[in-house]
Structure formats: structure tokens, C-alpha cells
């Protein structure tokens, strides 16, 4: 039997790409021009995307044989799910595997931003400690934590924050009946009542710029923002202004609006910790994500239930 033809939306790490090539007839999108993609289109039955991939209605329409999209990642906001459902295209992803790693990293960013860990490291390396003490930093233990989006990751962040004696509140579309934390009806109300705001919500049109200038103003000059979700959820220009003008104390960011390109204004600020979208990238989690990405695709073509379809 011939191998099913699969379109790779971006260059994948070799451990996954090599395994896919053994089982499937793989074609990378990047080298293909419009004519090349059109020539391949009747054969392409599968697709491997990432959380940053854009799979539009138009692209799906140009691939008449497409049956399944396997996403390497939890997020799939770049995929037109309505179009996929209309076409009967199965969309699968890799949820749950990175929850603990991302929650751990959220707390790492929170601590780094509040306690000025990066600045303190530079302070020591410059030799400034020999002439004076580092400025005082913000306490974390016993503070009030607000979580934007109490899904799997938000709940895991809350568990960790409890160990710091923090008071937890959250916002989301509706209160969670099984959550013992205080619910706020919107992000601004939440920001008004907390010291730290951690963004854990899903990306997409519904949450675009959810954390805006008003929310940041509500967080206030001693507040700290952490974003380990999607860059689009925070109004980046408003955040730059809030940090530059000290309307908030600090921020820890692992995601950005136009990553890997960052706004020069962000790079110039000393009250923000910047990391390269690495919250989920531990060796164990990445391997598990590779495995599930492959298994989702293979199960579809084997006629078996797909392990992790998008709900």
C-alpha cells in the first residue's frame, strides 16, 4: 500500500519529522509555490500543523482530499474549525501533556519578575554588589493572585500558588462549580482585586486584547502581569506603555504578538522578563507531544479512534 500523503505546515524537529517520513509521504509547505501545492493537492490526505500555523477555510478548500489535521501543540486558534467541521476534517491536538511544565514556568516568571531575579543576576555580574545592595523587591508569599482562564493550566497554577499562601481569584466565561476560588465577571474586575495577574486563557478572537490598558491600569503600580498563554490576549502596545510609565510594576512574558520578532520597546525595558515561548519545552513533554502528534495521525489512517480530537 502507498503511504498517505501529508502536508507539513512548518519545519518539524527531526525526531518527529523522521518518524512521520517512515509512515507517510511527507511534503513541507515552505518550498512549495502555488503551482506545486496545487499539483500535490489531490493527494494530500493529512496535515501536521503547530500551534502557530494558520489553516484557513481557503487553504482547506484547496486541498480536496484532506481528512485530518494533527496539531503539534495544545492551541489550535489558527485553524478554521468551522470550515473543518463542514468538510468533515478531523482536527486533533496534544492537550494536557504540558500542563505541569507550563504551570511551573508561570510561577518561575512570576517569581523572576517580582523578585527581579534577572536584574539581580546582572547586578552581581557587573560588580555592583561591591558598592551597595540591590534594591528591595516585591513579596510573593501571601499575595493575591488572579488567573485569567481557569482551565487545566490555570488550575495547575492555582495549586502551585496555594503553596505560597496566595489568595486565588479567577475570571472566565462562567464560574466553575467545582472551583473553590473567587470568581470575577471580567478581567478588569479581577485585576482591580489582585496583586499578580497570570494569563492562562485560550487564544482566538474571543480573547484578543482581553488584557488591555484598562485592565493594566486596574492592576496598578505594584501589580505584576505574567503571560504564558498567547501573545494576542495582551494588548502589547498598552503593556509597553504600562511598563515604561510604571503603571504596573513588572511583567513576565513567554509569548508575544509577533514572535519570534519582539517589539524593540519591550527589549529596552528593565522591568520585564522575556523568554522564548519555552514554557512547555522540557524533554519529557516535547517527546510526549511528538508521540501524540504521530499517534493522532496514524490512528486516523488505521481506522482507529483518534486519541486527542479537538472537542
pLDDT tens-place string over residues 17-44:
999 999 999 999 999 999 999 999 999 9
Listed in sequence order, the residues at least 6 apart from 235 whose beta carbon sits closer than 8 Å to its beta carbon are 209, 211, 212, 213
How is residue 240 written as a grid cell? 509597553
Q: What is the per-residue pLDDT for 232?
A: 95
Q: Collapsing DSSP states into helix, strand and coil, what is residue 183?
A: strand
In the predicted structure, residue 48 carries a pLDDT above the cut 90: yes
Residue 22 is among the residues annotated as catalytic for this protein: no
Residue of 45, 230, 236, 300 with catalytic role: 230
CB 236 within 8 A of CB 256: yes
- Closest to 297 in 3D by CA, of 96, 89, 98: 89
Quick: pLDDT tens for 213-247: 999 999 999 999 999 999 999 999 999 999 999 99
Residue 110 and residue 47: Cα distance in Å, rounded?
36
Residues listed for the chain: 311
Handedness of CA 186, 188, 191, 192 (dihedral sign): negative
Domains and CATH numbers, the chain: 5-97+284-301 (3.40.50.720), 99-274 (3.40.50.720)
Residue 15 and residue 9: Cα distance in Å, rounded?
16
Residue 230 is among the residues annotated as catalytic for this protein: yes
- Closest to 157 in 3D by CA, of 234, 229, 93: 229
Residue 27 is among the residues annotated as catalytic for this protein: no
* Bridge partners for 147 per DSSP: 170, 198
- First CA to last CA distance, the chain: 32
Q: What is the mean pLDDT of the chain?
A: 96
Residues 235, 241, 244, 250, Cα dihedral to 10°: -30
- Closest to 119 in 3D by CA, of 299, 261, 271: 271
- Closest to 279 in 3D by CA, of 257, 254, 300: 254
Residue 303 pLDDT grade (very low, low, confident, very high; cuts 50, 70, 90): very high
Quick: pLDDT tens for 100-150: 999 999 999 999 999 999 999 999 999 999 999 999 999 999 999 999 999
Amino acid at each position: 500500500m502507498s503511504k498517505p500523503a501529508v502536508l507539513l505546515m512548518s519545519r518539524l524537529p527531526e525526531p518527529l519529522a523522521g518518524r512521520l517520513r517512515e509512515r507517510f509521504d511527507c511534503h513541507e509547505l515552505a518550498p512549495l509555490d502555488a503551482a506545486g501545492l496545487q499539483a500535490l493537492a489531490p493527494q494530500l490526505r493529512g496535515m501536521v500543523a503547530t500551534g502557530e500555523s494558520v489553516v484557513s477555510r481557503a487553504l482547506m478548500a484547496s486541498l480536496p482530499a484532506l481528512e485530518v489535521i494533527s496539531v503539534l501543540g495544545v492551541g489550535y486558534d489558527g485553524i478554521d474549525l468551522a470550515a473543518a467541521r463542514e468538510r468533515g476534517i478531523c482536527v486533533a491536538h496534544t492537550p494536557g501533556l504540558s500542563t505541569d511544565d507550563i504551570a511551573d514556568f508561570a510561577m518561575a516568571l512570576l517569581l523572576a519578575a517580582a523578585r527581579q531575579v534577572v536584574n539581580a543576576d546582572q547586578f552581581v555580574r557587573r560588580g555592583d554588589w561591591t558598592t551597595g545592595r540591590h534594591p528591595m523587591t516585591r513579596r510573593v508569599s501571601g499575595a493575591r493572585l488572579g488567573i485569567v482562564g481557569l482551565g487545566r493550566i490555570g488550575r495547575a497554577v492555582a495549586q502551585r500558588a496555594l503553596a505560597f499562601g496566595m489568595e486565588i481569584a479567577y475570571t472566565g466565561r462562567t464560574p466553575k462549580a467545582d472551583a473553590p476560588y473567587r470568581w470575577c465577571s471580567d478581567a478588569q474586575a479581577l485585576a482591580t482585586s489582585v496583586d499578580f495577574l497570570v494569563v492562562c486563557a485560550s487564544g482566538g478572537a474571543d480573547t484578543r486584547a482581553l488584557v488591555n490598558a484598562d485592565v493594566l491600569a486596574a492592576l496598578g503600580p505594584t501589580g505584576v502581569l505574567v503571560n504564558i498563554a498567547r501573545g494576542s490576549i495582551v494588548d502589547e502596545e498598552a503593556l509597553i506603555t504600562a511598563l515604561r510609565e510604571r503603571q504596573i510594576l513588572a511583567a513576565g512574558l513567554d509569548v508575544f504578538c509577533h514572535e519570534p520578532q519582539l517589539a524593540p520597546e519591550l527589549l529596552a525595558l528593565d522591568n520585564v522578563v522575556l523568554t522564548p515561548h519555552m514554557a512547555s519545552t522540557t524533554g519529557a513533554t516535547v517527546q510526549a507531544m511528538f508521540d501524540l502528534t504521530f499517534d493522532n495521525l496514524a490512528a486516523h489512517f488505521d481506522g482507529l479512534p483518534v486519541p486527542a480530537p479537538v472537542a
